[in-house]
């Protein structure tokens, strides 16, 4: 009963926030974060002044508590919704052999779809119209199976590039949802193979799916049935990579064989992704990986090291 209240409240506040902020061309939520950070920095500096120390500490604690309370009311309680896995007819443990068969299927899907999309002068996949992809995502939201999602899918385009893209590239964060403004953000510096699916993932948070791997699964449902080939390829490629990450601990030779079977175009895309990741590794990546792991575990989710819940959902969905 309590969770139902917060689900309904989420829809109300999301509708108001999107009406207020969706028309703004930049991320209002990011601007709010910058202002909040400036206030906290100011009060943190004044902590070193003895005559203002107590007052500054109280203000810092007030800001953090108000921020955390609003976060929980707007978003945090959604982590306690009924898990999607319980809505699926089949609830079997992940099966590596089935994952292998599915990986072969998605390898062939990727090969076929990759032939129909555009690439740059280096032969790497590029998007031609991100707005068209985003509109397609909104259209596919309304077509999700009712037994998985009974959530309202408003046709409001509120997906924006993050103002923190330069920092994000060094953190391993692809995108995020801002519960204070109902905006979905993505890192526009990412390789284009990442962006369509990342956008679908963040739009799933906008629908009200709080858990990361459930947002991945809903993003998968949005992209895999799409007529937009750029969105579909990004989704198929993400799904294939996820399956291979699941399989590799049990059968690394199988994964190596699949990687060898990538089409030349897919190999170029993979090489570009790897070069992007390697060129942006550093202490920020390690720090945000650690803090993200803590955040996931504190919100009823698996840590960032294990992403098997998406595979659970994928394999059980394929059984239905």
User: How confident is the model over 64-80, as pLDDT tens digits?
Assistant: 999 999 999 999 999 99
The residue among 31, 62, 79 that closes a domain is: 79
Residues 159 and 185 in one domain: yes
The residue among 29, 52, 79 that closes a domain is: 79
Residues 9 and 72 in one domain: yes
What rounded mean pLDDT belongs to the chain?
A: 88
Full domain range(s) for residue 48: 2-79
Residues 103 and 29 in one domain: no
Residues 99 and 224 in one domain: yes
pLDDT value of residue 256: 96
Range name among 92-106, 221-235, 286-300 with the lowest pLDDT average? 286-300
Structure tokens at 244: 């291979």
For residue 152, report the phi and psi dihedrals to the nearest 5 degrees: -70, 135
pTM over 0.75: yes
Total domains in the fold of the chain? 2
Residues 114 and 59 in one domain: no
User: Tens digit of pLDDT for each residue in 180-226?
Assistant: 999 999 999 999 999 999 999 999 999 999 999 999 999 999 999 99
pLDDT value of residue 210: 94
């Amino acid at each position: 009963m309590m969770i139902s209240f917060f689900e309904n409240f989420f829809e109300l506040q999301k509708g108001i926030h999107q009406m207020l902020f969706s028309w703004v061309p930049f991320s209002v939520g990011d601007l709010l974060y910058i202002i909040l950070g400036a206030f906290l920095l100011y009060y943190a500096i004044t902590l070193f002044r003895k005559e203002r120390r107590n007052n500054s500490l109280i203000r810092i604690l007030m800001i953090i508590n108000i921020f955390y309370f609003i976060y929980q009311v707007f978003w945090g309680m959604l982590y306690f919704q009924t898990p999607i896995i319980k809505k699926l007819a089949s609830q079997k443990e992940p099966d590596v052999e089935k994952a292998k068969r599915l990986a072969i299927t998605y390898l062939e899907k990727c090969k076929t779809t990759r032939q129909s999309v555009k690439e740059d002068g280096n032969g790497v996949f590029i998007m031609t119209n991100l707005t068209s992809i985003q509109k397609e995502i909104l259209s596919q939201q309304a077509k999700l199976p009712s037994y998985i999602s009974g959530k309202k899918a408003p046709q409001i385009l509120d997906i924006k590039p993050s103002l923190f893209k330069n920092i994000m590239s060094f953190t391993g964060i692809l995108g995020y949802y801002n519960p204070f403004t109902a905006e979905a953000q993505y890192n526009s510096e990412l390789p284009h193979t990442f962006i369509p699916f990342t956008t679908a993932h963040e739009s799933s948070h906008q629908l009200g799916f709080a858990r990361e791997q459930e947002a991945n699964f809903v993003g998968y449902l949005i992209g895999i049935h799409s007529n937009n080939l750029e969105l579909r390829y990004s989704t198929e490629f993400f799904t294939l990579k996820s399956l291979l990450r699941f399989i590799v601990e049990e059968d690394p030779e199988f994964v190596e064989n699949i990687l060898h079977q990538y089409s030349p175009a897919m190999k170029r895309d993979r090489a570009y992704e790897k070069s992007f990741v390697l060129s942006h590794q550093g202490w920020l990546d390690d720090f945000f990986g650690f803090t993200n792991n803590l955040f996931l575990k504190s919100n009823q989710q698996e840590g960032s090291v294990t992403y098997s819940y998406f595979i659970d959902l994928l394999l059980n969905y394929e059984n239905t």
